[in-house]
Amino acid sequence: MVGSVGNAPSSWMVIESNLGTFAVGGDDEAVTDLLLPHEVHDGLRGAPASVIVRDAARQLDEYLSGERRRFEVSIRPRGTEFQQAVWSSLDGIDFGSTRSYAWVADVIGRPRGARAVGQALGRNPTPIIRPCHRVLSSSGLGGYGGGSALKRSLLAIEGVSIEDAATSYGPHRERA
């Protein structure tokens, strides 16, 4: 399970959507985990949810419904210094925009580290909130912990066509 390193979240909330079942985890201070549909298990249903976790779940539901473009929630993902740098760089990718693994590597000062960036993105404990789905490979979609269909669906919510992005792709693409 992504994000299960260290202390487990004390609070969970499960969200049902047309893209599947998601779960937000955290505590009274911050969100620490967002589980994608293939990671959610029945043990999380009915668990107590803190105010912060409930708010993050509401924002996630709004995003998945196309009603929210930006998350306004405190997060505290657990990871190495390198992973934290990669995940923090995602905050600079706006709704409806995409970037490449190489762009992220450049932003964090590791221009030859695109492969390591991809590995760090695969361990992002707060996907969607920290939008790793907006990072594409130079030849197209690239990987995603939730699978390519979910990545395409999340990009579609934002009005991004992967076919257009793949044919006109450079270091980054802004939606017109």
Q: Which residues pair with 11 in a beta bridge?
A: 26
Residue 67 pLDDT exceeds 80: yes
Q: Which residue out of 53, 86, 117, 132 is catalytically annotated?
A: 132
- pLDDT tens, residue by residue, 71-125: 999 999 999 999 999 999 999 999 999 999 999 999 999 999 999 999 999 999 9
Is 147 catalytic? The answer is no
- Rounded mean pLDDT, 2-12: 63
Q: What is the pLDDT of residue 165?
A: 60
Question: What average pLDDT is seen over the chain?
Answer: 89
Q: Which pairs from 69-74 meet CB under 8 Å and 24+ separation?
A: 69/95, 69/96, 69/158, 70/95, 71/128, 71/129, 73/30, 73/31, 73/129, 74/29, 74/30, 74/31
- pLDDT tens, residue by residue, 120-151: 999 999 999 999 999 999 888 888 999 999 99
